[in-house]
Every structure is written in structure tokens, then in C-alpha cells.
Amino acid sequence: MRKTPVWDGQGRYQLLGADAKERIYTPVAEDLDEVIANIAGVAESETTGPPPEIEARLAQVLATPGKRIRPAITLLVSKLWGRVPDERTIKMATAVELLHIASLIHDDTVDSADTRRGHATASNLWGGNIAVLLGDFVFATSATFVCDTNSVRLIRRFAQTIAELSRGELNEILESWSLKTDRKKYLERIYDKTASLFSTSAESGAVLGEGDEESVASLRRYGYNLGMAYQVLDDLLDYESSPELLGKPTANDLANGVLTLPAILAIESGDASEAVSAFMTAPVADRPRLLTVAYDAICGSDALRRSRQIANDYISEAMRSLEPLPPSPSRDALVELTDYIRDRQF
């Protein structure tokens, strides 16, 4: 049931007694339910026509609930100017979540990851070929949802986002096991991999909510900064968190030869340059021992604290992008989302 927000007299609306997650999702709870129903519908033969064997596998990959951050952004942003999310907005929110799901199916295949969100991945269950083609199916379906917005501008932006996602993932593979990744390359890569879709989620909400062009640009910046913070923190959690909390393996990036911000900063400062270089250039048999040495050098340096500081700077920038927008429960939820992403432990 929708809760009524109460103006707190100090510039914010409040859902009294609600926790952070509730305050973020409640303004769009019913719309998100429609998005979730659309996603479940992708596996049903009457909507898309796959035979039952595919249908069952699709249903399985679509059933694992994620955080639904991207569709929540599209929906919340679309309400900033007082409009109720219409069918086109629900379709766009569905498209961004489906694209995200498709990219994770592909990513887990590329990474040979066994678990995601605490469940076995598609590639683990059925092998890489099936997983890639299931991902393609979801990915193509996401595009049909964007077409239903009838906006060439959004279709174009969505297509660019897909190209950026693929470029980010390609660069990650091409740069793996190389010591050449620097901060600039890393930031470009995480824009492509993550901030691009966050930015598109926010921008499309602003276009469909009929915000003026200045506001559309502010929301694009909001999505960009939130997405950059999200990926920096994701990369930090790979060093700091545990598989139990995250629902996926940790200490995974360096083990796969991928340098993310903590490693890059610890190399830059000289604290881990020798240890990481020894690990990255070692014969395969020596890697497990040298991985521990490199990992400890990174964790023992100041790089984790500095990575968090960089994420916090992106979070502050995201919050600043919301300042020019009219006060509303949706704007407050978008502010709250920045805190939620900053503090997430999973």
C-alpha cells in the first residue's frame, strides 16, 4: 500500500518510521510491481513465444530479484515534475532492468562466475553457449520495450548504452593481466560498464517526465555520478566484503588479472607495485601464493580508504546534481538512494 509522505518543515518529505530502503522505493512501489510483472512476462510464451524448454530457463534467470535500482531511478526521476509514470515510462524502466539482467548473464559467462545474487549463474547451470544465447534473448527483448516508448531519442541513447557496456567489458578483458591500466583508463571503463546505464536510466526518466533540457542534463549527471560511485564501491567491496554478504565471490578481480581502483592506487603510491607486478607476470603455478602477497599489500596500503573517498566524492556530486530540482518525495528518494549506495555492504 502506498504511504503518504509528510513534509518535515525543513525542506524534506518523510515517510515517518520507514527505513531507508522503504523511503526510496515507496513512491514508486506500484510502478515497480508493474516492471517486475513485465520482466516475469518475458518468459511467458503468450508474450514472446519461446518454446517451454527456453521458457523455463528464462523464468529461472529472470526470477532472482536484484536491487531494482535502475528502474527505480527511471520511475522516480519521471515523477519529479508531478507526472504519474505512464505506460511508456513503465516500459522504459522495464528495458533498463532487462538490459542490466542481460549484461550480468553475459558478464558471468565471461567471468566463469558460479554464483550471482546467491544463486547459480546461467553459465554454471547450462554452460556458456546457452547462457550467451539466453542473455541475447533478454537483451533483444529489452530493446523492444524501449521501442514502445516511441522516442527515437531514447532508442538512440539505449543503443549507445549497449555499445558502451560492450566496450567496457571488452576493455576489461583486453586490459586484464596487463600493468598498463591507469586511473584514467579505469574511470573510462567503469563509465562504460556501469555509469552509462545509470545515466541512461536517469536521463530517460527525465525525458519521459517532460523535464526541461537543463533538468535532463542535471539528471544525466546524477546518473553518471551515482553509477561511478556504485562501481568504485563494487570494486572496493571485492576487497572488503565476503561472499556471504555479497551473494557472489569476492577477492575475484585481482585473481582474474583485473586491476580496479584499490590496486591502481596502491600501485600508483608504490605500496603494491612490486607485489602486483610479481603476481601479474608470474607463471600460473606461482599465482596463488603471489596473489595473497599482492592482495595483502593492497589491503595494507591506504588504497582502500582513498577508493572510498573517491566514491564519496562521486556521491556528493550526485547529490549536488539534484539541488536545482523541485522538492518532492521523489527527489528526496533520489537523495536517499545516494546515501543507500554509499553505505551498502552488499
Distances (CA, A) of 204 to 161, 166, 330: 12, 20, 15
Q: Is the dihedral of CA 190, 332, 316, 254 positive or negative?
A: negative
List the one residue from 97, 169, 175, 336 that touches ligand FPP (CB under 6 A): 169
Contact letters (x/-) for Mg ion, 97-116, by CB under 5 A?
----------x---x-----
List the one residue from 70, 79, 106, 331 that touches ligand FPP (CB under 6 A): 106
Q: How far apart are CA 338 and CA 76, in angstroms?
A: 13
Judge whether 286 and 317 are in contact, CB under 8 Å: no
Q: Does 253 bind Mg ion (CB under 5 A)?
A: no
CB 99 → ligand FPP: shortest distance, Å? 6
Q: Which is nearer to ligand FPP, 106 or 157 (CB)?
A: 106
User: Three-class SS of residue 121?
Assistant: coil
Judge whether 140 and 269 are in contact, CB under 8 Å: no
CB 13 → ligand FPP: shortest distance, Å? 32
Residue with cell 565476503: 242
Q: Which is nearer to ligand FPP, 15 or 72 (CB)?
A: 72
CB atoms within 10 A of CB 169: 18
Q: Does 224 bind ligand FPP (CB under 6 A)?
A: no
Q: Which is nearer to ligand FPP, 175 or 332 (CB)?
A: 175
AA identity, residue 135: G
Judge whether 301 and 272 are in contact, CB under 8 Å: yes
| Part in contact with ligand FPP (CB under 6 A); list of ranges 56-64, 98-106, 126-134, 145-153 | 98-106
Backbone angles phi, psi at 129, to 5 degrees: -65, -50
Q: Does 34 bind ligand FPP (CB under 6 A)?
A: no
Q: Does 248 bind ligand FPP (CB under 6 A)?
A: yes
Q: Does 166 bind ligand FPP (CB under 6 A)?
A: yes
Element (H, E) at 120: strand 119-120
**How many residues interact with ligand FPP (rule CB under 6 A)?**
16
Q: Does 164 bind Mg ion (CB under 5 A)?
A: no
List the one residue from 102, 122, 154, 226 that touches ligand FPP (CB under 6 A): 102
Q: Which is nearer to ligand FPP, 23 or 248 (CB)?
A: 248
Q: Does 62 bind ligand FPP (CB under 6 A)?
A: no
The per-residue DSSP string of 269-323 comes to TTSSHHHHHHHHHS-GGGHHHHHHHHHHHHHHSSHHHHHHHHHHHHHHHHHHHHT
Q: CB-based contacts of 45: which residues, under 8 Å, 6+ apart?
A: 51, 52, 55
Q: Which is nearer to ligand FPP, 176 or 277 (CB)?
A: 176
Q: Which is nearer to ligand FPP, 237 or 282 (CB)?
A: 237
Q: How far apart are CA 134 and CA 57, in angstroms?
A: 8
Q: Does 194 bind ligand FPP (CB under 6 A)?
A: yes
Q: Does 162 bind ligand FPP (CB under 6 A)?
A: yes
State the residues that interact with Mg ion by CB under 5 A.
107, 111
State the residues that interact with ligand FPP by CB under 6 A.
102-103, 106-107, 110-111, 135, 139, 162, 165-166, 169, 193-194, 234, 248
